[in-house]
Structure 1
Amino acid sequence: MAEMLPSLMVPTSSWLRRSVHRRWLDHQGLRLLDFSKPSRMKLGFGPLDEEGMLTPGAPPDTILTARMTHVYAIAAMRGVPGCLPLAEHGVAALRGGLKDKLHGGWFTASPETLKTIQEKRKENYLHAFVALAASSAHVAGVAGASALLKDAAHIWETHFWSEEEGVFRESFAADWSDEENYRGANSNMHSVEACMALADVLDAPIWRIRALRSAERFIHHFARENGYAVPEHFDRNWKRLDDFNHDRPTDDLRPFGMTPGHFVEWSHLLLKLEAALLRQDGHAPFWLLTDAIGLFNTGMKAGWSRNGTGGLLYTVDFQLEPVVQNKPHWCQAEALTAAAALLKRTGQAPYETWYRKIWDFIDLHMIDRKKGGWIQELDADNHQSEVVYPGKADLYHAWQATLNPLLPLSPSFATAISELDG
């Protein structure tokens, strides 16, 4: 069934329709896939340094393992050699040594490397990526993926989904006790992505409804009332925690303040959710489009080139003044994905302009043509930095940015690839 949105409104002059640009995207995606292949470890995958080498002594990382599994499963479906064995390796690790055999679920690293009670907590952020990886691997026909998908969906639904609140809970102790007094926009944002994948792969519309409920609370309620700037941190009673991590402004997952990169990431997720709901039965709330536009506009106004050097910065305070002016690569990737999604959805010229401008910035400042991969972070003056993100551990954001413009807004990655090539 074709996507029920006016993608044909994209002008013929758009980069999205240019064969050279589409080949360029494919080429960049293949370069990223090759660069990250050495991240394979005996158990799962680990972080790469600036040179593309495994960080000495680093344990396997479960979030990276899930992300690599997701990416290499889809790349295998596209016919890229060497990717299926990596996806199989990731599935085996998630079913094996990275899983908690006693209580179920996953830790952020192999259990024997975790020393403190805090390190042994089970996080929604991670479990959303395990569910995403399992769904993509299942579609790709990776050995063991169907069992992993069944397990991951059950654990995620049973322990993390809050039917009463319509959001995902944040974290628990190893035995699923001691629920954290926190509700986070970041983990729920990635949960929306994983929910849409599960809905497609399992043919289970309930997961789309969960995605919609989470988006409605965090975006249509909290962000819309805040001028489409997304508050990130709440307690379990939904009190905003505006001072949360005030002493840790460069935290990689829960920094102080607000993150314009998340504003734009939510933007394209809302458009994908709208497309998925329209594809399902022809109906979707109109606010998904309205809010997506508002999020993109606020994110780019708050975060883009605040000091005149281009790029989207990391964090702002609640007056939208810069806090951390370093520019993570993932912020740029999500901004261009949002611009492309809005261009497909509306056909409006300003989104084409943004799409080209963001790619120009990435091409000139972040694509590392000497050592490979993307530079993960720049400082305010576009010099390489490692304040928030050391090395070159992340493949997921950059690689998806090279594939997103080539695909319709719905269905999700793995299902879209299977339908396009089927």
Structure 2
Amino acid sequence: MILNTMNLRQRVANEGRSILTWWRKHALRNDGTFYGRVTTDCIPDPNADLGVILATRILWTFSRAIHTGFEASAENRHIIDSMWNMFKSAFWDQTHLGVFWMVDANQQPVQTRKHIYAQSFAMYACAEYYAATGKQEALLYAQLIYECIERYARDSVHGGYFESFSVDWRPMQDQLGISDLAAPKSMNTHLHLLEAYTRLYQVWPNPELRDRLRDLLQVVATRIVNPQTSHFQLFFDADWRPLSDVISYGHDIEGSWLLCEAAEALGDGACIQATRQLAVQMVDATLAEGLDADGGLFNEGHAGRVIDDDKHWWPQAEAAVGLVNAYQITGNPEYFKQSERVWDFIEQHMSDRQYGEWYWLVDRSGNPDKTKWKVEPWKCPYHNTRACLELWQRLAPEGE
């Protein structure tokens, strides 16, 4: 079977440049900050609160575009330097260390909780900014976050990490998003902490961090992945008793390739082999239950059936990467063809050809929900731009 990998690579490159252009034009302000909310038709709310997840994902995205060579422009360098300064002045807690959850439009803290999910994205962004610029200060901030997480959040009894803390790092019970459980431990936080520890280890190969990354990979692979179904379990009590049996197809296929990335960073051959086998099992489980005939990935399932057939923007991006990763592991061209189908769906239904960027979601008939924001604390350039950058790199011809 002849695969047109260069065609898909060109398509994702075009989409990636379009997304970055949209964010420069509609989400980033001339003063070096950003809008906390922007409507589907590109109208910003200058008074909206500013979330740290959005801030760090913008910093990560443009830093990654530079570091990979995808778009290493002076304009993007100015953006990441401005975002870095804002990160330090608005979101960094000078007293207790770590980052605040939310600041207002005047950059004053309004939600000061220390959620490990947010600390993970801050670390991820700091490490990528360091990779893009070589600024030692950025590595120092990443190391400080790492030390706080290890000091306050690590569960030395049952393994893994606790979720949420007050501004001065006292444990508290809290939910990450409005649809999440207020559980002691979650898949989502551990997955993105794994992602952040992986990137930090790539730029700072510290022996203790290596041990923590290996332990965390083991926790995700053995505690969070259900061995019977090859799906992630989403919420847990402190000793890893599952509290939910809902399936998140987007997280499953995102996790499949992030697990591989962590194992490859560690460089252990046996670990890499076992993790790749697990990744393919997770992709197969997702394809069997979560992929619609039109190439779009459903949102959620339960007990082998779909319970939410909306198609959100970010699972489509992660599906495209997870499927290409499965193709690269196995050599099976069917995974690549499925990735092409997902990208067809993205181009036909998720990408807003009138106003730019991607819709938050479309229903099963392909109708977009235009009431939802293009930019808000959870709608960021991270998933879709990262998919473009990952595929652009993975599908590069040899020698490029």
Q: 1:9-408 maps to which residues of 2 (within 5 A)?
A: 13-16=2-5, 18=6, 20-37=7-24, 38-41=26-29, 44-45=33-34, 46-77=36-67, 78=69, 79-110=72-103, 119-141=111-133, 144-180=137-173, 182-242=184-244, 257-278=246-267, 282-284=269-271, 286-305=273-292, 308-317=293-302, 319-385=303-369, 390-392=373-375, 393-407=379-393
Range moving further from structure 2, 52-61 or 289-298: 52-61
**Structure 2: how far apart are the matches of 1:97 and 1:262?**
30
**1:399-418 deviation digits (Å, cap 9, x = unpaired):** 01111123359xxxxxxxxx
Structure 2 residues not aligned, in runs of 5+: 174-182
Letter in 1 for 2:144: D
Change (3 A) 1:398 1:385: same
Which letter maps to 2:9? R
Q: In structure 2, how many angstroms separate the alpha carbons of the residues matched to 1:386 and 1:169?
A: 36
Q: CA RMSD in A?
A: 2.6
> Aligned with 1:368: secondary structure?
coil
SS in 2 for 1:104: coil
Query: Hey, what's the Cα distance between the residues in 1 that align with 2:277 and 2:370?
Result: 36
Q: Are the aligned partners of 1:309 and 1:382 in contact in 2 as well (CA < 8 Å)?
A: no
Q: Deviations over 1:348-399 (max 9, x none)?
A: 1221121111111111111222211112211122111268x63243210000
TM-fit CA distance, 1:302: 2.2
Question: CA 1:208–1:315 in 2, change beyond 3 Å: closer, same or farther?
Answer: farther
Q: Which amino acid aligns with 1:381?
A: S
Q: What amino acid maps onto 1:91 in structure 2?
A: W
The count of aligned residue pairs is 377
Secondary structure (helix, strand or coil) at the match of 2:307 reads strand
Give the unaligned 5+ runs of structure 1: 1-10, 244-256, 410-419
Residues 293-316 of structure 1: per-residue CA shift (max 9 Å, x gap):
1111112222111xx554111112
TM normalised by structure 2 equals: 0.86
CA distance in 2 between counterparts of 1:195 and 1:113 reads 29
Distance 1:282 1:259, change over 3 A: closer
CA contact (8 A) 1:199 1:207 kept: yes
1:312 is matched by which residue type in structure 2? L
The residue type equivalent to 1:14 in the other structure is L
CA contact (8 A) 1:196 1:207 kept: no
Structure 1 contact 326–378 (Cα < 8 Å) conserved: yes
Do the aligned residues in 2 keep the contact of 1:170 with 1:184 (CA within 8 Å)?
Answer: yes
On the 8 A contact 2:40/2:370 being kept in 1, the answer is: no
The Cα shift of 1:100 comes to 2.1
1:220 Cα shift? 2.8
Does structure 2 conserve the Cα–Cα contact (< 8 Å) formed by 1:333 and 1:398?
A: yes
- Opposite residue 361 of structure 1, the aligned amino acid is F
SS in structure 2 at match of 1:264 = helix
